[in-house]
């Protein structure tokens, strides 16, 4: 099973009237997410599912990745990807979705899920719009959002 963990792109600045879960992507966040999605298109296509946290920025990022990956299904909001939900709950859902699953969420949810999926005590936090690939519970590669370079994913 290939799982692609993607952190949402950069969002607009904090504002008292706009809770974190409601923050939408900034113009730069949209631009970088689109660029990373184009690079990802060369490594993975046709996911079986795209699962996303209920945060607005995560949903917007998932939609930007869906087209380049030729995903014609429904981007599914998975409540288990909310902050504070134990990662094993989301992991059970991933296993039911098929051999290639894209997960778009935020930190620290993604690094907690990555640690659980790799059976490691920790997982490196993802940068905004970063993609990290796990194949059968083993770290594979990541796409650096600033340079768009794909490199080997190393974890302790």
Give the pTM. 0.95
Q: Where are the domains of the chain?
A: 2-11+20-152
pLDDT for residue 14 is more than 80 = no
pLDDT value, residue 13: 84
| % of residues, the chain, pLDDT over 70 | 100
- Pick left, alpha or beta for residue 30 (phi over 0 → left; psi -120 to 50 → alpha; otherwise beta): alpha
38-53 confidence digits (pLDDT tens): 999 988 778 999 999 9
pLDDT value, residue 15: 72
Collapsed DSSP state (helix, strand, coil) of residue 134? strand
CATH assignment of 2-11+20-152? 3.40.50.1240
pLDDT value, residue 88: 97
pLDDT for residue 17 is more than 80 = no
pLDDT value, residue 43: 81
In order of 6, 22, 23, 110, 140, the CA distances from 154 in angstroms are 16, 32, 31, 16, 8
82-134 confidence digits (pLDDT tens): 999 999 999 999 999 999 999 999 999 999 999 999 999 999 999 999 999 99
pLDDT for residue 16 is more than 80 = no
Residue 56 banded pLDDT, cuts 50, 70, 90:
very high
d(CA 107, CA 100): 21
Mean per-residue pLDDT, 8-26: 84
């Amino acid at each position: 099973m290939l799982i692609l963990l993607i952190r949402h792109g950069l969002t607009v600045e904090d504002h008292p009237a706009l809770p974190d879960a409601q923050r939408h992507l900034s113009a730069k966040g949209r631009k970088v997410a689109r660029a990373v999605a184009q690079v990802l298109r060369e490594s993975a296509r046709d996911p079986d599912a795209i699962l996303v946290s209920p945060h607005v920025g995560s949903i917007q990022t998932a939609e930007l990745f869906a087209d380049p990956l030729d995903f014609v299904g429904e981007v599914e909001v998975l409540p288990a990807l909310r902050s504070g939900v134990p990662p094993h709950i989301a992991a059970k859902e991933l296993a039911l979705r098929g051999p290639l699953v894209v997960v778009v969420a935020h930190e620290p949810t993604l690094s907690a899920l990555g640690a659980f999926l790799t059976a490691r005590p920790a997982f490196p936090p993802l940068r905004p719009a970063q993609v990290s690939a796990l194949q059968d519970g083993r770290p594979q590669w990541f796409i650096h959002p600033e340079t768009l370079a794909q490199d080997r994913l190393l974890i302790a």
